[in-house]
Structure 1
Amino acid sequence: MFKTSAVEAALYIHPCLSEISEANAVERDATVDSLVNSINLRDGVKARFFLNILSLANSAGEKLLAFSQYTLPMKFLERLLVKEMGWHVGKEIFVINGDTSTEDRQLAMDQFNGSADAKVVFCSIEAFGEGFSLVGASRIVILDVHLNPSVTCQAIRRTFRPGQKKKVFVYRLVAADSPEEKAHETAFNKEVIPKLWFQWSGRCTTEDFRQNQVDIDSSGDELLETDVIRQDIKALYQR
């Protein structure tokens, strides 16, 4: 869970974004660029975490995969990287969503997995099924809470495919003291129910089906241990 701020809402429910039709790409892009240029982006905790973890991963020679169930937050972060990093879509940045054709998806995956220039791919969390592979990524950021845990799990598994040679770290971002906390609790309970039904045995206790809070220093993740990352983490839970 992460500390929250008012600007963070720009990622999800900023009025300027919510009123734009997904079909009007020109107006959407212009409004997102205006938003990127008009606010202090690093005041938004999720945007700040995303930029910091991406920068650290890039320094470590790792690529990042970002999932969202919404198009506009991904467009916001895409335009943010163009402005902040000077990166380009199709070289350092790749985007795969429900409007991407099968051929273009395969091309984007091949380029992302195989190109040394590739840094990050933004993906609609519901746009991926069996057969899709993004083994080029070893860091995954889930930008928002999906109420169907199987959708999230299936998306995460896109990096656990033949050819993956690195340890994969997954970050599920939950804004503390916001409605996301309740949504996250609901999603976790949905995930627990089948475990209780199919995996319960005499060797298990209820502790096996609870989220366990862990200390950052014992997480085994060197990137989380950096000061620039830990300042925004209110609590860390192992899933």
Structure 2
Amino acid sequence: MPSINHDWVEADQVIRRIPPDAPSIAESMLDGLDCNSLTLAQALELSRVADGLRLHLRPEVFDLTGTADLETDVSPRGLQGKLFEYQANGVAWMADRARRAGGFILADEMGLGKTIQIIALLLKFRPSPANPALIIAPTTLLTNWQQELLRFAPSFTHLLHRGSNRAGISNDLARADIVITTYDTVASDRALIESVNWRWIILDEAQAVRNPETARRKAIENIPREHMVPMTGTPVETSLRDLWSLMDLAVPGLLGNLSSFEASYTDDVAGAGALSSIVGGLILRRRVEDVAKDLPERIDIDLPIDTGVQFSDDYMTLRNRVLEKYPQAGHLVAVNQLAMLCAHHVFPDRDGMEIDEAIRLLPHSELMSPKLEATLELLQEAFANGRKVLLFSNFNGTVQLLERVAGLLPDAYWNAINGSTPQAERQEIVDAFTEFAGPACLVLNPKAAGAGLNITAATIVIHYTLYWNPALEAQASARAHRRGQTQPVRIYRLFYPDTVEEVMLERSLRRREMGDAVMEDAEAEKADLRKAIDMGRGGS
């Protein structure tokens, strides 16, 4: 077999001599690298910087698209749940790419179960306290990761690295298999995070680091790790620069440095096409319609949202104030007031102003809440994928809140139906929503638009607020999940754990398990009220 030390090559079954100085030039190009064990990124970098020789890479170097050799039986030991077929295939694909390239991008569309696939992957390549996994996510998703790990992989130990009680030395981090933290915490604790040798780094909602100039992106790129996996349903939000940023984290050096990348690839369809031969085999991207045969007609996703210290304090203050003011009817009044606070802090405390005026005057610094932020993340991905969304809220002011932050989202059709919408106009609004050629969102009050309307153009339903009466939620979800719907419908319920919303969610789940024909009795109603009030102070 020829090597870089030979001055001949075999071409068309003929031995041909090459210039005598070629071996020394090739050795200089390699600069100490072993030509028999180059990574894909190293080979590509050599092809870009080669001086004196033109380095030609065979097409099979880029062939990461094959699936014939992937495992067909993926059932990691310790997984408490069953994977759909496409999810099992996804885990097998990820395991293969991790072995061959070190990293990849998981870009499945929202609602297809990226989290459970990552958990299954971690069970196949288990982290340990000596070589842990780091999951970096937006603040709103920390609780969801904790709950999903407990649900699907209880054998893992995990700790939350966040807030004033977070670890101060690396030994404190090396106490669990998995550490969960936020992007901003990583940027703040850069030296501490870099002192640990991570087996895996998972970047949830990785579009948060699409800008390579930000402090959070720079903090992440130098963290020592074996594998890094950006997770995002929108790997390209604004330009191909986004893709470079994420892929350079997953497989460092694969696309060269940023300046050479931007010089080599135009930011258009042609540039994306040229890139696909290199990165296509390192991005796992399935849309709902691609795997619809594997999916149930309805996918229910309960999304817990991390409250943060400020919300928790506000919640308990409001609870105590209402119970003191209304000692007789306090439980019922408190439940309603606390439900308003869970929707947004502007609703229960607006100093006598009309809600429209209160929202208009709300300082920008006080506009965002954890739930509103989580809603924007869902809408961002839905719109980027051209989806139509029904967003249900008990409070009409939610429309004004969304109007104030809509500039952060891609262009889309917006409208609303509530009790003030004339009956004659409601179907016209639904028709315009249905016929609009692009992403769209209808904000609906479930009491006004939760029954009688057929809105099967929507495939995503977001319950921004939950309901004391479970039948109201069922009727609202049925606007999209009904006869005539040809796609799976994803139904999100956003809730704050350890609040009145958790009790509402439990009531909804209990109702579905019992069946709509079975009614709650009065004692159950009273017990739920007591539990709702006790939530947040350590009661249950």
Fold-level similarity (TM above 0.5):
yes
* 2:380 corresponds to: 55
In 1, the alpha carbon distance for the partners of 2:513 and 2:449 equals: 23
Q: Comparing 134-143 with 173-182, which one deviates more in the overlay? A: 173-182
* 1:3 corresponds to: 306
Please give the per-residue CA displacement for 1:8-56, whole angstroms capped at 9, x wherever unaligned.
9866352x4335599x8xx533421332623262xx2211211111111
Describe the SS at the equivalent of 1:140: strand
Describe the SS at the equivalent of 1:172: strand
* 2:475 corresponds to: 154
* Counterpart among 347, 360, 366 of residue 39 in structure 1: 366
With over 3 angstroms needed to count, the CA separation of the structure-2 counterparts of 1:195 and 1:137, relative to structure 1, is closer
The alpha-carbon deviation at position 121 of structure 1 amounts to 0.7
Is the 1:11–1:73 contact (alpha carbons within 8 Å) kept by the matching residues of 2?
Answer: no
* Counterpart among 504, 507, 513 of residue 192 in structure 1: 513
With over 3 angstroms needed to count, the CA separation of the structure-2 counterparts of 1:131 and 1:190, relative to structure 1, is closer
The aligned length equals 188
Is the 2:382–2:388 contact (alpha carbons within 8 Å) kept by the matching residues of 1?
Answer: yes
* 2:343 corresponds to: 12
Is the 2:387–2:460 contact (alpha carbons within 8 Å) kept by the matching residues of 1?
Answer: yes
With over 3 angstroms needed to count, the CA separation of the structure-2 counterparts of 1:36 and 1:132, relative to structure 1, is farther
In 2, the alpha carbon distance for the partners of 1:130 and 1:114 equals: 21
With over 3 angstroms needed to count, the CA separation of the structure-2 counterparts of 1:110 and 1:197, relative to structure 1, is closer
* 1:104 corresponds to: 425
Structure-to-structure mapping, 1:1-239, within 5 angstroms: 1-5=304-308, 6=310, 12-14=343-345, 16-19=346-349, 27-35=354-362, 37-39=364-366, 41=368, 44-81=369-406, 83-85=407-409, 92-128=413-449, 130-194=451-515
With over 3 angstroms needed to count, the CA separation of the structure-2 counterparts of 1:164 and 1:192, relative to structure 1, is closer
In 2, the alpha carbon distance for the partners of 1:72 and 1:11 equals: 13
> How high is the TM-score relative to the length of structure 1?
0.67
- Greater relative contact order (Cα < 8 A, sep 6+): 1
In 1, the alpha carbon distance for the partners of 2:342 and 2:457 equals: 26
The alpha-carbon deviation at position 118 of structure 1 amounts to 4.9
Aligned sequence identity (%): 25
With over 3 angstroms needed to count, the CA separation of the structure-2 counterparts of 1:194 and 1:166, relative to structure 1, is closer
Paired letter, 2:415: F
Please give the per-residue CA displacement for 1:37-79, whole angstroms capped at 9, x wherever unaligned.
23262xx221121111111111111111100112123331233
In 2, the alpha carbon distance for the partners of 1:40 and 1:74 equals: 13
With over 3 angstroms needed to count, the CA separation of the structure-2 counterparts of 1:197 and 1:177, relative to structure 1, is closer
In 1, the alpha carbon distance for the partners of 2:428 and 2:357 equals: 27
With over 3 angstroms needed to count, the CA separation of the structure-2 counterparts of 1:158 and 1:55, relative to structure 1, is same
In 2, the alpha carbon distance for the partners of 1:105 and 1:3 equals: 35
* 1:230 corresponds to: none
The alpha-carbon deviation at position 115 of structure 1 amounts to 0.7
In 1, the alpha carbon distance for the partners of 2:410 and 2:351 equals: 27
With over 3 angstroms needed to count, the CA separation of the structure-2 counterparts of 1:114 and 1:125, relative to structure 1, is same
Describe the SS at the equivalent of 2:376: helix
Describe the SS at the equivalent of 1:136: coil
The alpha-carbon deviation at position 181 of structure 1 amounts to 1.3
In 2, the alpha carbon distance for the partners of 1:130 and 1:159 equals: 11
Describe the SS at the equivalent of 1:159: coil
Is the 2:307–2:370 contact (alpha carbons within 8 Å) kept by the matching residues of 1?
Answer: yes
Paired letter, 1:102: Q
Is the 1:93–1:118 contact (alpha carbons within 8 Å) kept by the matching residues of 2?
Answer: no
Please give the per-residue CA displacement for 1:103-134, whole angstroms capped at 9, x wherever unaligned.
21111101111112452110001113543111
In 2, the alpha carbon distance for the partners of 1:118 and 1:33 equals: 26
Paired letter, 1:39: E
- Runs of 5+ in structure 1 lacking a partner? 199-239
Please give the per-residue CA displacement for 1:116-160, whole angstroms capped at 9, x wherever unaligned.
245211000111354311122111110122011111111111113
With over 3 angstroms needed to count, the CA separation of the structure-2 counterparts of 1:21 and 1:159, relative to structure 1, is farther
Q: Comparing 116-125 with 32-41, which one deviates more in the overlay? A: 32-41
Rg larger in 1 or in 2?
A: 2
Describe the SS at the equivalent of 1:145: coil
Describe the SS at the equivalent of 1:158: coil
Is the 1:36–1:80 contact (alpha carbons within 8 Å) kept by the matching residues of 2?
Answer: no
Paired letter, 1:66: L
Describe the SS at the equivalent of 1:120: strand
Paired letter, 2:432: Q
Paired letter, 2:348: S
Is the 1:36–1:79 contact (alpha carbons within 8 Å) kept by the matching residues of 2?
Answer: no
With over 3 angstroms needed to count, the CA separation of the structure-2 counterparts of 1:19 and 1:127, relative to structure 1, is same
In 2, the alpha carbon distance for the partners of 1:154 and 1:110 equals: 20
Q: Comparing 150-159 with 110-119, which one deviates more in the overlay? A: 110-119
